Amino acid sequence: MDEELIQVAFSQMLLSGTYTHVAPYETIQKKFNVKIKPNVVILVSVDRYPDLAEGKTMEWKIEMGRNLVTKMRASISIPFLSAWTEEGVLALLLDYKELCHSEHKSKMMTLAEEIQSAADEIKINVSIGIGNFYDDPSLIIRSYEEAKKSMSGRFFQGNKLIFHVDQRKEIAEHLKRPLSKETSELFSIVRIGYAEGAVTQIKGIMEKVAETYNYNEEIFKSEVIDLLMMMSRMVLDIGVSPVTILTNTANFIQELYQTIRYDKFVMKVRHYVEWLTGQVEELHVHDVSPIIKEAIHFMKENHQKEISLDDLARNCHLSRFHFSHLFKKEVGQSVMEFFNKLRIDKSLYYLEKTDLTIQEIALKSGFQDSNYYSRLFKKYIKSSPTEYRRLKKVM
């Protein structure tokens, strides 16, 4: 065990590059009694490790780690050192003397497949990240960083994958925020508390953001979290109590940054958007009966369509008269007043944050006639859409 710990300490010095401040490599190598001279790093990452380790004891983690390292030593003929760089991620520092730069990629890919097969035998699925080959041991840290970088694409993909640093796509230096139309629609429907629509919209946005930025994990997370922060601020501006929103948002953002799988990231974001939009929805359906709550949901779901009072009453399985009376009694507004005000509220975001024409905004809000939209807007907001936009731009 002492020898193993000594080799781990030596490996950590190589991976951090700190030995260069202490002594030449040969001196450190002799001091630690290490015979090999590593020139390439492979990262072996246990698939879905956070799920596997949840609820497990320290003894389980130690045993799993020892089993994997033991299997690697029995299966890999190339001399190597090893060190766990984080939970579930094992770095192999290989002394691949026969390797040359021209054949580096093909031989390392073959070795990675052999490592996966060996891990399969002990029922552990692993994904592999491969760095480049360096003759100078002081540059082994580069190979390690490259192996880590190569695996950032794993966030978007599945199990038992192999990544090489050369496969990473380059990202343009100047990136432009994509999907302005899609995000505008998202914010506008969050504003009216349409949770189901917001969840569908954010899912599509995340898929396109990932594609736009060539599946770069850091940029993807940053863009999505930025959207969520803006969404939270908008919900606060609408009038939702800040105590719950601010606390939950801070905790949720921290949790998202630590999420290592795309599918789980998407699931968490969708649940959060549903919850956040639901806070707005509560402003509309607070203390109303289930049947009126269903009517309001139906309005939001169909806000871009021409639906009548009869359509709404029929959806609730009530007569027109009974539905109208019940709605006015519980909500304090007539059915069509509430429905039109809902669509006007949606249009406010487009007026404030986009340069769409009044006619385009009217259509997106469910009004086929822009003149009718303008008349209703003035009735509810006490100014024309153009005046409202001008005032908000000045502010």
- What is the DSSP secondary structure assignment for residue 138, as one 8-state letter? G
The range of the structural domain enclosing residue 90 comes to 2-167
pLDDT digits (tens, 9 = 90+) for 222-277: 899 999 999 999 999 888 889 889 888 988 998 888 787 788 899 999 999 999 99
Position 334 in a domain: yes
- Below-50 pLDDT ranges, the chain: 168-176
The CA-to-CA distance between both ends of the chain, in Å, stands at 68
- What is the spatial distance between Cα 243 and Cα 226, in angstroms, rounded to a whole number? 20
pLDDT digits (tens, 9 = 90+) for 348-377: 999 999 999 999 999 999 999 999 999 999
- What is the spatial distance between Cα 41 and Cα 144, in angstroms, rounded to a whole number? 5
Based on the number of CB atoms within 10 Å of its own CB, is 330 exposed (0-12), middle (13-18) or buried (19 or more)?
middle
- What is the spatial distance between Cα 122 and Cα 145, in angstroms, rounded to a whole number? 28
What is the CATH number for 90?
3.30.70.270
Say if CB 351 and CB 385 are below 8 A apart.
yes
Among 68, 185, 80, 188, CA closest to 123: 68
Collect contacts of 242-249 with beta carbons under 8 A, ≥24 apart.
244/279, 245/276, 245/279, 248/275
- What is the spatial distance between Cα 163 and Cα 112, in angstroms, rounded to a whole number? 9
Mean pLDDT of the chain: 88
Token output for 322: 């009974």
Position 184 in a domain: yes
Say if CB 234 and CB 202 are below 8 A apart.
no
**What was the pLDDT predicted at 101?**
55
Residues 16 and 150 in one domain: yes
Residue 111, CB-side half-sphere exposure with 13 Å CA sphere: 25
H/E run at residue 130: strand 126-130
Query: Number of structural domains, the chain?
Result: 3
Of 167, 193, 219, the residue at which a domain comes to its end is: 167
Residues 52 and 157 in one domain: yes
- What is the DSSP secondary structure assignment for residue 216, as one 8-state letter? -
